[in-house]
Each structure stands twice: as C-alpha cells, then as structure tokens.
Amino acid sequence: MSHQDSSAPTGSLDSQGTTNAGYSSSTVPMIAQRDSRDSWNKKMDFLLSVIGFAVDLGNVWRFPYICYQNGGGAFLIPYILMAVFGGVPLFYMELALGQFHRTGAISIWKHICPIFKGIGFAICIISLYVSFYYNTIIAWALYYFYSSFTSTLPWTSCDNVWNTPNCTNYFGTNNVSWDNYSHSPAEEFYTRNVLEIHKSSGLRGVGGLRWQLVLCLFLIFTIVYFSLWKGVKTSGKVVWVTATLPYVVLFILLIRGATLPGAWRGVVFYLKPKWEKLLETRVWVDAAAQIFFSLGPGFGVLLALASYNPFTNNCYRDAIVTSLVNCMTSFLSGFVIFTVLGYMAEMRNVEVEDVAKDKGPSLLFITYPEAIANMVGSTFFAIIFFMMVIALGLDSTFGGLEAIITAVMDEYPQYLFKRRELFVLGLVIVCFMGSLSTLTHGGAYVVQLLETFGAGCSIIAVVFLEAIAVSWFYGIQRFSNDVKAMLGFAPGIFWKVCWVAISPAFLAYIIVSSLLDRHPLILFDYKYPDWSITVGFIVGASSFIWIPVYMVYKLVWTPGSLKQRLAVCMRPERTMREPHTDSLSMTPVP
C-alpha cells in the first residue's frame, strides 16, 4: 500500500485556501494511520468477512419465522422499505467511517466527536455479552454435529434413555394420539439430552455444568483463537470456508426440500400475502428490527473490518453488494425452512401453521432436525446442516471479537501493538469464562436472558447516538467530503437525507416501540420471574451507561469554562504524522 493510500489525503490548496476534499485548510482533521497497520490480502477476504458477519444464524431462524408471522409475502414490503431507508444507509455509513479513519470503535471518536467516545466502550461491552451466549449456541450445534455420525440419528425414536412416557413419534406410525403433554423425539433430545434442562428449576437453580457442552465450547473457542490471533491475515483465509460453505449447504437443502412431498404447501404458506397485516404497527417494527439486526450496524464490526481496507476502496459498492447478498440469503433461507415444514405438515396431516410455531434455537434444534431424521439419507443431511450452522455462527463470532480486538488495540497501541496474540488469548479466555453460566443445566434460560437484554435496545440506542453524532455533530457535509476524498464522488442527496433524518427516525421508532411493547419472557413453559427481568435491564444498562459516564468524565477533565469545554469536546482532534516515523502526535483543531 502506498503512502497516499495508507492515510487520508489532505489535498492540494486552491486559490480560496481550501483542500480538494472541500475543507478549509485550517480546519481539516489530518487523519494519520500507522504504516504498519494490517491490511487485507485480497478484496474478497474483506467481502467474505463482511458477508460472513452479516449472514448469521438469525437469517436461518429469525427471518422465516418473522416473515410468516407478519403477513408472508406482504412482509417483504416493509422489509425492503426499512432496508432501503434505514439498514443500508447505516451499513454504508459504518463502512465509510471505518475505511476513512482506519481505526476501531473507541479511538475513532477523537476524529469525529470526542465527547461520544463512550459509544466505543459501550459497543465493546455489548459485543462481550453477545460472545457469552452466541458461542454457546454454536456449541449446541457442534454437539448435534458429533451426534449425527450414526446410522440412525438419536432423535429419531423414543427408545433412548433420556426419553419419557410422553415421547410420541409422528413419523412412521398410524393413529398417533397427540395431546398437550406429548413431546417429539427431537424435542426430548434437545431439552433432555443436549441441555438437560429438566435438571434445572429455573434461574434460581441452574444446576451443574454440562461437561459435554463445556468441551464443545472449548473446541469452538480454540478455532476462534487460531483464526483471529494473527489478525486479518488469518481470519481472511478462514472465511473462504466459513462464509462460502453455508451457501453450498443451503442450495443442497433447498433442492432436497423441493423434492419432498408437501413442500409446495410450505412455500405457499411462506409467500401467501396477508395484506391486512400491513396495517399493524408491530409488522413494521419487526421489519425494522429484522433488517437492523441482520445487517449489524452498531456492533463495531463494520468499522473494524473496513479499517483494514485501502483508502480508495469503493466502500459504496461494497455496502450495496453485501447488503443485497444478506437480504437475498434471508429470503432464500425461508424456502429452505418452509419446504421442510410443508413436508412435516404433509406427514402429520396437519396445517403448516401447526408445525411452524417454533422460533429461535428451537427451529434449528427441534423442528428442522425432526424433519431431517425422517428423510432418506438423514445422516448426511444432518451432518451438512449442522456444519452449516457452525460455519454461520463462527463467521459472526469472528466479526464480533475482531470489533473488540481492533477497538482496544487501536486505543492502547503502546501496550498491545506487538502483543496481539496474548491479548486475543486473554479475550478468548474471558469470553469462555463468561459463557460458563450458559453451559449449566439451566443455561438455555441464561442464553435467552442475555439475548433479550444484552444486545437488544442497548445496541439500537448506541447506533442511534452514533448516527446522530456523525450526521449532526461531525456534520453531514464534512462526512460527505470524507467519502468524496476516498471515492472521488460525494454521496447523493438520498444518502444525506437518510443519514440526517430518516435513519435516526428509523432507530428511534424501533427503540420506542420495543420499550412500549414488552411481552412476558417465557422459555419451555418457564416464565421468567420479575427479578430476572430487572437483572436483564441492569445488564442492558451496564453497557449504555458508559456513554453518559464518559461525557461527564471528558467535560470534567477538559480545562476551560463550560462553553470552552463543550467546544473542545465536540470538535475533532487533529492527528499529525511525525516525519519518517509511525508515531502519532495529537493536537486539537484550532
């Protein structure tokens, strides 16, 4: 990478004293990066990393469920609108920010609006909470993957030691008597063998550790460590497998699902529009939340991954391409899921709606495995399905932890720049230890609590403030000039309007609706007690609280009157490169 590509160009001065990027020569923040900063080996390494992060387990389990719950084919209208006016602009904004400033989620704020630096710390804490439960779900998939290497899948029959008298097998049996107490073999395998949740009395008594799951999680984190320890040079190679394998498996499962009897019933149920649903506010909220969590702005991952790009990389095209790939993957996953649900409905002689009630992990670990178990070649399809689930999960884990690694290392380079391997090892150990509560007999209850509160409204509020800070405090014109300096053209009026008004309104809409429309938290007939909901809100607040805490800290320790302090804290700092060195010197913008 040339010197010009490795730092933001300051431009030449014209007769009015302005740079070719459109700034005043006395106010342009001269961004400097370390010449020794890592960079992607290939452009495809970056694209696959971004796609791998954005395309995660939620594309397989969340989108199909939300789609049929909210009007089938009619749901695509609010989904597309929310993507165009909310999700994609935020996605583009983060890629551009990361690429221009070439730094992580913490130190980037000294170049944008220093008083908002707490956003970076909040992002890191949220990513840490996500790692505590998300990798446990991958460990469950690894347990299933190992259990699939048998001639007869263990969740096929009710003849196993973990089964109860209530176990009832739909398939291969005539005149099955099914009541409210009946459980399928797949359900009992998941709850009584994988989780052993029956040995827990709830959050007050989660029970002991499941050593099998501890071992699975240890293997997962081992893979994660050796994928991340050397930086994007190693993770960029790993994603060639983990980001492409799910698409191969999805197409295999789609072809197999389309040939199953009753598959058409599932597809019709999936796509049949219910236009009256568009009048319900909940549908639009779900569409906004789905596209936001699917694309993943606000987690610091896009900032981190883009920061290793060449300065002139076309991040605009990258944002459009990767967003389209992500949304199309969600849509394709719906066909993969619902062809199988249609087959299950055909075999049970019931409506598709009756077999499409499961959501979240239950769809991956009960409904779909049950259908696979009764296909010809069930062992093969189980192996590749759970291989796909593991790959989808690993990609997102790589992104989430890289966001923390890049943010912290860029903030404290004097301590960590030459100690990346040790820092990554320490981070992985912290994540493993933090996950232990999710590996108990009642670990599924902890997973649900962390998923609901650890990265729910907190991350939406964080990215809302991020959009406000960039568009209103840093300035939309200054940000547009940054993009022009990189790409040679400025963003159009559509993008500017989205960044200034529509995207923040989109996020505020999700936050308010989520806070006003709270539902009881229930898992496997266990209703979460009120104290656990309070704990959940404390967990959510523990990340967001760093934003106002840092604001107060910054104002207190900045010299001058209150007006002077506010002016300094909201103004980007100037970063100067010392000649012939990689060191940075910081001076405030005059």
Sign of CA dihedral 456, 94, 98, 590: negative
Residue 395 annotated in ligand binding: yes
Residue 105 annotated in ligand binding: no
Whether 411 and 111 have beta carbons less than 8 Å apart is answered as no
Residue 266 annotated in ligand binding: no
Q: In angstroms, what CA-CA distances link 568 with 10, 120, 165, 562, 583?
A: 22, 19, 70, 10, 23
Nearest to 405 by CA among 392, 420, 394: 420
Residue 174 annotated in ligand binding: no
Residue 392 annotated in ligand binding: yes
Task: Please provide residue 522's backbone torsions phi and psi, each rounded to the nearest 5 degrees.
Answer: -135, 140
Write down the H helix ranges in 259-377: 263-271, 281-295, 301-306, 315-348, 352-355, 361-362, 368-373
Residue 52 annotated in ligand binding: yes
Write down the H helix ranges in 55-162: 57-69, 76-82, 88-101, 109-112, 118-147
Residue 59 annotated in ligand binding: yes
Q: How far apart are CA 449 and CA 535, in angstroms?
A: 9
Q: Six-digit token pair at 74?
A: 């009619």
Q: How far apart are CA 372 and CA 446, in angstroms?
A: 28
| Cβ contacts of 375 within 8 Å, gap of 6 or more | 256, 260, 381
Query: Residue 440 forms beta bridges with which residues?
Result: 209
DSSP letters spanning 573-584: EEEEEPTTSS-E
Nearest to 219 by CA among 397, 84, 416: 397
Nearest to 296 by CA among 38, 4, 481, 58: 58
Instruction: Find where tokens 């209530």 sit.
Output: 166
Residue 294 annotated in ligand binding: yes
Binding site listing: 52, 54-55, 59, 294, 326, 392, 395-396
Q: Which residues are annotated as a binding site for Na(+)?
A: 52, 54-55, 59, 294, 326, 392, 395-396
